[in-house]
Every structure is written in structure tokens, then in C-alpha cells.
Amino acid sequence: MSQPALRVRSLDLSDPATFVENDIHEFWREVRAEYPVYWHEATDRNPGFWVVSRYADIQSLYQDPSLSSARGNVLDVVLRGDDSAGGSMLAVTDAPHHRKLRSLMFRAFTPRVLGKVVEQVKERTTELVSTVIGRDAFDFAADVAEQIPMNTICDLLSIPFADRAQLLKWNKMALSSGEADSTELDALSARNEIVFYFMELAQERRDKPGDDVISMLATSTVEGRSLEVDEIAVNCYSLILGGDETSRISAICAVLALIENPEQWRALQAGEVSLDSAVEEVIRWATPGIHLARTAAQDLEIRGSKVRRGDIVTLWNVSANNDEAVFDEPRRFTLSRSPNKHLSFGHGPHYCLGAFLGRAELRALLDALAAAVGRMELRGTPSPIYSNFLTGYETLPVHFARR
């Protein structure tokens, strides 16, 4: 394998600044064409890792059992060492335990079981949208997008209404370790509070089960034994980790993309594109999680490159979702795009467990917007997320006129 050109080597993919300071799509175009699999050199802070950028390679590696998730599935975590939830939280567990845990959790995620939760999502979203229409300016991120995913997950877990504000507060603290007024320690203690909260709830529901995900986990067995309360708790927390920010970012991205592409907004309002295909394009366009990380459990070869056991391998969904070998004019936001087999939900054994719910949330949003909103305008500059894993915006100042 040839050494990548200096301008490719000089972009540090472990540094959040890289993703706000560069035209990252231009970078990936060059990488896909010239260096589809390359070794990202170590820096003074981090060890090196493999970078895989073509759709076909990424799709096949997601199914390759020689790549493990048990040390973590996000670059920052695997660079630092092991994921403390490895082997007990679904996303960072390998087969065969993963398969058994997943089939248990999947019971709570079938469209039939989720019917009631989806109805609540529709009602909540329509109500939220109706409250912001006509306001001079508001932050769509805080006033609408942020309100949907956590409440949906709370519905799914039957979190008592009295506890929700506290849980939302902890979750905000857990997410804001990079911000000026909070520390890494605050974030860590908030994460611990969430896990303790779920442990207590797991114990209560084991004694007095209902028809929610926690009760189901608390009363089932995997490989002949009941799950420990801490295993139940991390898997409940994993629904927040997996389903909160990803859905929120996608909703924010949807509104911004519709403002930037008024002809697509008109087509949606006029019912000229199906909601289902619109949802898929929004999720491809957003690609909230730009990469996933794995660790080689044995030596393997990727497109002629020799990967050694223990090496970190990163799979860049953001590049796969814009691979011109698969998507026609990938940098055009086209709500009617078909086929649209994006990798935003991953692929293979760890394919997103909440995909149906994530789609339902966006569907409810697009439906509510198309039904009630006329003109949408930006009223300020959105602030970008600072991360090497998530992409999108934290704030979105806008005005919605009544239809």
C-alpha cells in the first residue's frame, strides 16, 4: 500500500476540530479514490488506526466476525483503552452472547410492540410543532428536536413522569463534558446516576413487572441465567446513548436541509415525494454517527492491506453514504432518492435496534411540518457540534410561518 499524500496524512481524524475546519466531503472523495484503506499515523496523543472509506468494503466489514466491538465501537473509546461496558452492553458485545441478548431486546422493538409508542411520538411532535409556528424566531434544536427522542425512550421504558425531568437533567450533564461550565467529573457522575437509577428500576420491575423493556429484561433469562441488575441498567442506558443524540441531530439536519433546498421542501409539502423515501434521504444526508470503530480479533486483509490482531479499524459511514459508486450525485439532497441503502444505521449483526423508532420519529416530524408549516427561514447561524463521532448542529435559530 502506498503512503497517502501529505494533505490526507495531515488531517487528524481523531481531532474534532478536523471536522469543523475542513471540507470533509472533498477529503473523503480523494480518500475513496486514492487510498480506500489507509493507516492513520499515531499522533503524540493517540495510537494509529486503519481508515476504511468505500461503501462496499464497509458493508462487508460490518459482517466480518474477525472485527470485534467488545473494546468499544467509537474511536475515542478504543483509542483510550477498553469500553467498560464491553461484554454487557449490546452494542459493545460480540457473538455468541450478542446474538442472544439482541434477540431478547429485539422483542421490545418490533413494529407491533412499538405501535403505542409511535402514536405518542406523533401526538407529541404535532403538538410541539404547533407551539412554535408563528414565533418570530426560536431554536428548533431546543424547542422541538430535543424534546422528542428522550421522551420517546422514556415512553419505551415506562419511566414514571415524575422522574423524567431528573433523568433529562442527568443526561444533559452526561453529554456536556466538553462545555465551559461542566467538567469531565460532572459528566461521569451524571452517567453513574443514570445507571444507578436504572438499577433500582430493574430491581423494582423484577419484583413487579409491567409490559415495558425494563420489565422484559428483568424477567427473562439469557444463556440460562437472569441478567444482573447492572447489565439491565447499562442496556437501558444504551437506548439513551443510541437513540437520543442520533435522532435529535437528524431532526435538526432535516429542517436545515429543507431550508437550504426549497424545491425539496415544496415537493414534500405538495405530497410529491413519499414520507418514507424522504425519511431515508434525511437519515443518509445527516449520517449522525460519522464512523464506527472495531478491533481486529485476528489477522485479516482488507483490500490488500495486512491488518494485525489488535489493530483498530474505523469504518467511515459518512464516506460510504456519499460514495459515488453507490449513490448518484451523492451531494444532492434528493427526497425521492431510490434506492437509498445508506449505512447510517450500520449493517450486519449490530444493525441499529432502534431503526424503526428513529424512522418513526423523523416521519412524524416531516409529516407535522408538511401539514402545518408554510415558509421556513433561518434566523441566525446554527452552531456546529464539536466531535469526531457525531456531526450536525447544536442549535438552529429559525422562523416557521403558518401554512
Q: Are 50 and 40 in contact (CB under 8 A)?
A: yes
CB within 8 Å of 341: residues ≥ 6 apart: 326
| 293-332 residues near ligand HEM, rule: CB under 6 A | none
d(C-alpha 268, C-alpha 8), whole Å? 39
Write out the three cell numbers for 210: 409491567
* Least gap, CB of 45 to ligand HEM (angstroms): 23
Q: Are 361 and 147 in contact (CB under 8 A)?
A: no
* Least gap, CB of 121 to ligand HEM (angstroms): 10
Q: Are 131 and 138 in contact (CB under 8 A)?
A: no
153 binds ligand HEM (CB under 6 A): yes
Among 52, 174, 229, 357, binds ligand HEM (CB under 6 A): 357
Q: Are 39 and 48 in contact (CB under 8 A)?
A: yes
Nearest to 296 by CA among 53, 23, 61: 61
* Least gap, CB of 90 to ligand HEM (angstroms): 5
d(C-alpha 230, C-alpha 199), whole Å? 6
Compare residues 35 and 258 and give the one whose CB is closer to ligand HEM: 258
217 binds ligand HEM (CB under 6 A): no
End-to-end CA distance of the chain: 57
Stretch that binds ligand HEM, among 37-45, 139-147, 268-276, 341-349 (CB under 6 A): 341-349
d(C-alpha 111, C-alpha 90), whole Å? 20
353 binds ligand HEM (CB under 6 A): yes
36 binds ligand HEM (CB under 6 A): no
Backbone φ and ψ of 153, nearest 5°: -65, -40
* Least gap, CB of 325 to ligand HEM (angstroms): 20
239 binds ligand HEM (CB under 6 A): yes
Backbone φ and ψ of 23, nearest 5°: -80, 95
Stretch that binds ligand HEM, among 34-42, 238-246, 329-337, 372-380 (CB under 6 A): 238-246
* Least gap, CB of 105 to ligand HEM (angstroms): 7
90 binds ligand HEM (CB under 6 A): yes
Among 86, 346, 382, 392, binds ligand HEM (CB under 6 A): 346
Backbone φ and ψ of 373, nearest 5°: -105, 140
Site string for ligand HEM, 49-88 (x = CB under 6 A): --------------------x---x---------------
Q: Which residue has the cell 468499544?
A: 72
Residues at the interface with ligand HEM (CB under 6 A): 69, 73, 90-91, 102, 153, 238-239, 242-243, 246-247, 250, 283, 288-289, 292, 344-346, 350, 352-354, 357-358
